[in-house]
Amino acid sequence: MRDEDLSKPTDAPQSIYGIDKWGADLVSVMDNGDLGLKNPLKADAPVVSLPKIIRDLDEQGVQTPLVLRVSSFLELGIRSINEGFSRAIEKSGYRGVYRGVFPIKVNQQAQVVDRIVEFGRPYSFGLEAGSKPELVVALTHRLARDALIVCNGVKDAEFIRLAILSRKLGFNTVVVLESPKELETVLEVVAELDQEPLLGVRVKLTNEISGNWAESSGDRSTFGMPTDQLVTVIDRLREAGLLHCLKLQHSHLGSQIPDVNDVRRAVGEACRYFAELTREGAPLTHLDLGGGLGVDYTGEKSATENSINYSVDEYCANVVETVTYAMDEAGLEHPTLVTESGRAVVASSSMLIFNVLETTLYDAPASPAPHEGDHHLVGDLAAIKDYLGPDRLQESLNDAIFYRNELRALFRRGYIDLRQMGRAEEMFLHLMAKIKTLAPEAGNAAQIDAHLEKIADIYHCNFSLFQSLPDVWAIDQLHPVVPMQRLNEVPDRRAVLSDITCDSDGKIDRFILEDGVSPSLPVHSITDHEPYYLCVFFVGAYQETLGDLHNLFGDTNAVTIELRDDGEFDLLHEQEGDTIAEVLSYVEYEPRDCIAAFRSIVDQEISEARLKASDRKMLMAAYRDSINGYTYYE
């Protein structure tokens, strides 16, 4: 097949994965069934084959599992929000500007933050630091002269001192006051320095949002000052002669806001505070609306937990319109608009790619006949095939499960022997194979899912859910998952994906498909001669940061690539995943001591004549290879 043929999208069986709903700008399926990456910044650039990328990386010594970061996807994230606000500002005649900041906590990896700063420079895009270490990171970057560094979170004197002193270097670092107590620390630090601070104040809005982060909003949210504390802070700042330093008002509603009307309501409330604080004499110039701009993980375009009912442009337009009305009504200048969008900027820029290691198939190709003398339930089980059909699918499934379970109970009590039980299990699995084949004719998608849920195969995959997709485990986050190859073949199996931790929670069993969320993923039978890879999308936000070392699986390899105009790619950066030695050191083991301890066990076995001295070299080499190797299946 010629290259130009490969780059053409097709509309064959791949539509089941709903790619056009959630990933139309970024991915498509090529004629040869490969998943392809589109360059979202160049409409006419050829699609780049993802399997080819993985093969090339493998040849260069980079194995799966790996996180693949695509530079132009990240650039698109930065452009979308900045140009979205520019368009909205221009359209509505807003008289202020937009100066967004990226919250480092959403993806702290140096390769990601460096690129955000680079792509954001033309837009004077800044950084948000929610902790001292994040401020330390922010201050290593040469931001545009008018970009902001917004410091949120609990701050000690050291944090505040560094933030204020950084102004001497030309950084526009804003210390956002989280409480009256924090203000007292700020006043103490200011008294030591010959540098005025830039101050912000964090307001607790009373409006609540829907979705997974409802608790981050409203009265019971942890951060931000209620009205009485705001009054205290204003009075105290005036008394200390520093009210003129209060330039920014901040509020944050929570992440992944599903409903754009929640955004409008909250922005309206934030504007009321802005007007009132201004009336109190605070010379506010910046209105910071925090994060919350969501990602449409499922592509449903609805106000549900894993989706949003608005686009980036709509979000920007709603914010600008609401602030315009509110400021005009209050007779105020239009402030500089600040948002701290993290998820929407980085989620789509990374994907997790892993290989299937083996499969547990939940069916059998043939059914043995019952033997003379078999228990009558074995005959009942065998008879199901006579009435099994699309119209009696559920009934057949119920019966098969019932008879099989009864037979298992008889086996446990010693009434039937191993071979009879083996026959029954095989008959059952063959019935399951038939049910899977008939399910698509049996009714709507939800019914089919219900039929197949308990009989899906298990595909054992080379990744750790806890390290690479922690939100899937913790908050039932959904991410699109798609086979990376053979998308021109009808997937012949349905599977759940289990990871390589020894934890039964380490599995993905909710999948985004064209017609909704399903408990199993359509996949292809795997063969011995060809690796089978799966790709999980939208993992750029929070997943790398929140991952943990369950079972001591460490960071995966991570590569940053750029898509080229000739259908190839450039490898911009490779970050090797953790070695076993590295993860051991995180949990207080010193790798050298581990080697020494193993050696002493070997030597003792030799000295007590339980091991041949000639085995020493081989044992030590095996231990060293392991400790210096990748934590995942190699």
Ligand X SMILES: Cc1ncc(COP(=O)(O)O)c(C=O)c1O
* Strands, E assignment, 75-218: 101-103, 126-129, 148-151, 172-177, 198-202
Q: Report whether 127 contacts 78 (CB < 8 A).
A: no
Q: Tell me which H or E stretch contains 118.
A: helix 110-120
- List Cα–Cα distances, 448 to 125, 359, 430, 436, in angstroms: 48, 22, 18, 9
Task: Record the tokens describing residue 102, joined without a space.
Answer: 């990226």
Say which residue the tokens 């980036």 belong to.
312
CA distance 121 to 75: 11
Among 559, 598, 604, smallest CA distance to 580 is for 598
- Residues 256-275: x/- map of binding to ligand X (CB under 6 A)? x-------------------
Task: Record the tokens describing residue 490, joined without a space.
Answer: 């009808």
CB of 542 to ligand X, least distance (A): 7
Name the CA dihedral angle for 565, 570, 573, 578, rounded to a multiple of 10 degrees. 110
Q: If phi over 0 gives left and psi between -120 and 50 gives alpha, with beta otherwise, what is residue 18?
A: left
255 in contact with ligand X (CB under 6 A): yes
293 in contact with ligand X (CB under 6 A): yes
- Residues 519-558: x/- map of binding to ligand X (CB under 6 A)? ----------------------x-----------------
Q: Report whether 518 contacts 511 (CB < 8 A).
A: yes
Closer CB to ligand X, residue 251 or residue 464?
251
Give bridge partners of residue 174 from the DSSP assignment. 150, 198
CA distance 602 to 624: 13
340 in contact with ligand X (CB under 6 A): yes
Among 51, 96, 292, 470, binds ligand X (CB under 6 A): 292
349 in contact with ligand X (CB under 6 A): no
Among 341, 462, 468, 485, binds ligand X (CB under 6 A): 341
**Nearest position to ligand X, beta carbon:** 291
78 in contact with ligand X (CB under 6 A): no
Q: Read out DSSP for 460-478?
A: EESS-HHHH-HHHHHH---
127 in contact with ligand X (CB under 6 A): no
Instruction: Point out which span in 181-189, 309-317, 334-342, 441-449 binds ligand X (CB under 6 A).
Output: 334-342
Closer CB to ligand X, residue 295 or residue 431?
295
Closer CB to ligand X, residue 129 or residue 320?
129
Instruction: Point out which span in 160-168, 204-212, 250-258, 323-331 binds ligand X (CB under 6 A).
Output: 250-258
Instruction: Point out which span in 44-52, 90-98, 167-175, 291-299 binds ligand X (CB under 6 A).
Output: 291-299
- List Cα–Cα distances, 141 to 113, 120, 121, 134, 144, in angstroms: 9, 12, 11, 12, 9
- Residues 197-236: x/- map of binding to ligand X (CB under 6 A)? ----------------------------------------
Phi first, then psi: give them for residue 559, nearest 5 degrees.
Answer: -125, 145
CB of 256 to ligand X, least distance (A): 6
Instruction: Point out which span in 12-20, 91-99, 289-297, 300-308 binds ligand X (CB under 6 A).
Output: 289-297
Residue 188: how many CA atoms within 13 Å on its side-chain side?
A: 12
Task: Record the tokens describing residue 304, joined without a space.
Answer: 């549900």
Instruction: Point out which span in 6-14, 87-95, 338-346, 451-459 binds ligand X (CB under 6 A).
Output: 338-346
CB of 290 to ligand X, least distance (A): 5
Task: Record the tokens describing residue 241, joined without a space.
Answer: 């002669």
Closer CB to ligand X, residue 101 or residue 461?
101
CB of 557 to ligand X, least distance (A): 25
Among 152, 467, 543, 631, binds ligand X (CB under 6 A): 152
290 in contact with ligand X (CB under 6 A): yes
CA distance 435 to 595: 53
Among 27, 30, 62, 106, binds ligand X (CB under 6 A): 106
Enumerate binding residues for ligand X (CB under 6 A).
103, 106, 128, 152, 252, 255-256, 290-293, 340-343, 541
